[in-house]
Amino acid sequence: MKRRDFIQKSTAATVLAGVGALSLQSFSSSKTKKITILHTNDVHSHIDPFGPEDGRNANKGGVARRATLVESIRKENPNTLLLDAGDIFQGTPYFNYYGGELEFKLMSMLKYDVATIGNHDFDNGIDGLYNQIPHADFEFVSANYDFSNTVMNTHVKPYKIISKDSIKIGIFGLGIELDGLVGKDMYKETVYHNPIEKAQDMSRILKEEESCDLVICLSHLGYEYKNSPNKVSDISLARATKNIDLIIGGHTHTFLPKPTIEKNSLGKDVLVNQVGCFGLYLGKVDFYFEPGKKVASEGVSIVV
């Protein structure tokens, strides 16, 4: 597969010698491309499905079922990413007994690509999180937590860029203010920065400098705080920023039946999604790309 890609590109290079690699990629296909983004949030160590007796979530959830679902979607579209918006830890005895080891191992087996960090991921302290990092074959992103003076330094990046079918996807993370939510002795020297400012930096870097085709924010800020409008949420973030295509949220355990469409600071559409908690649902957002055109066509149609 990789070899064929190479041959294709080198043929193109002969014809169009002198053109930058980026533009070449744009020419490599003339058909519609589809990128599928799958996501979870606030799974909270829910590895087993809820039992038939459960009052609220009977027979729902379960990592082994999620694995089957993700695999079938990947079979349908190999250009699929699997993301998590934080609070992987805490909620069942699996966490108390194994400290998050099993959660990370299973997410690795499901081939998660990127996750961000939720407040509960500090529940065994930043050292407890660090100790489980060897079990995670996926990457952590956070643009507004500065881990420089902690053990997590170098284990969390502000953003990650993944290319699928020559579509460049930039993913950055945002975390909630830890003070008042997590004990200082737990998060230690982690420094929290304003998420809106960091999001503005990130979207500029990803869209303008890195020329990403798709910019995704993995957020653990919470969906919306109607009673505290000054508190940063996914909704306020969507309105205050530009160049973000999708905000995948968490923290507030908000069950959105479908993604919310918000207007960004330029009046363009941003999708905000969150799938409740405990792995009861899997979020799925498909992005379709048409081959590059000289003349700008009409806007993006959103079907939710």
Partner 1 sequence: MLLIFSCASPKLSKIEGKRIVIDNDIKSDQAIEDYIKPYRLHVNKDMDSVISYAPETYTKTDGKLNTAIGNLMADAVYSEGNIIFNKRTQKNIDFVLLNHGGIRSIISKGNITTRTAFQVMPFENSIVVAALKGTQINLMMEYLSKAKRAHPISSQLQLTLDKNDAVSSATINGEPIDSNKIYYVATNDYLYDGGDGMTFFHPNEGLYSLDYKIRNILIDNFKKKDTINPKQDQRFIKLED
Residues in 17-36 at the binding interface with partner 1, rule: CB under 8 A:
18-20, 22-23, 26-27, 32-33
Query: Scanning residues 244 to 303, which ones bind partner 1 (CB under 8 A)?
Result: 245, 256-259, 271, 273, 275, 279-294, 296-297, 300-303
Chain-centre distance for alpha carbon 204: 18
Tokens encoding 282? 């899997």
Residue whose CB is less far from partner 1, 191 or 300: 300
Q: Which is nearer to partner 1, 94 or 159 (CB)?
A: 94
For 120-177, give the DSSP string.
GGGTTHHHHHHHHGGG--SEEE-SSEE-TTSTTTTTEESEEEEEETTEEEEEEEE---
Distance CA 246, CA 252 (A): 17
**Is 1 among the residues that bind partner 1 (CB under 8 A)?**
no
C-beta of 235: minimal distance to partner 1 in Å? Answer: 16
Q: Does position 230 bind partner 1 by CB under 8 A?
A: no
Residue choice 2, 56, 75, 93 for contact with partner 1 (CB under 8 A): 93
From residue 145 to residue 174, the character string flagging contacts with partner 1 as x (rule: CB under 8 A) and all else as - is: ---------------------xx-------
Q: Which is nearer to partner 1, 49 or 198 (CB)?
A: 49
State which of residues 82, 83, 85, 102 lies at the interface with partner 1 (CB under 8 A).
102
**132 contributes a contact to partner 1 by CB under 8 A:** no
Among 55, 134, 180, 267, binds partner 1 (CB under 8 A): 180
C-alpha–C-alpha distance, residues 122 and 286, integer Å:
32
Q: Which is nearer to partner 1, 2 or 93 (CB)?
A: 93
- The C-alpha torsion from 115 through 168 and 246 to 90, rounded to 10°, is 0
59 lies in the site for partner 1, by CB under 8 A? yes
Number of residues that bind partner 1 (CB under 8 A): 77
- The CA distance from 292 to 210, in Å, is 17
Q: How far is the CB of 300 from partner 1 (least distance, A)?
A: 5
* Residue of 172, 177, 173, 205 lying closest to 190 (CA atoms): 177
Comparison of 154 and 301: residue with beta carbon closer to partner 1? 301
Q: Strands 214-219 and 191-192, how do they pair?
A: unpaired
Nearer CB in complex with partner 1: 15/154: 15
212 vs 246: CA distance, rounded Å: 13
d(Cα 146, Cα 193) in Å, to the nearest integer? 8
Least distance in angstroms from the C-beta of 276 to partner 1: 9
* CA dihedral angle for residue 171, residue 172, residue 178, residue 179, rounded to 10 degrees: -160
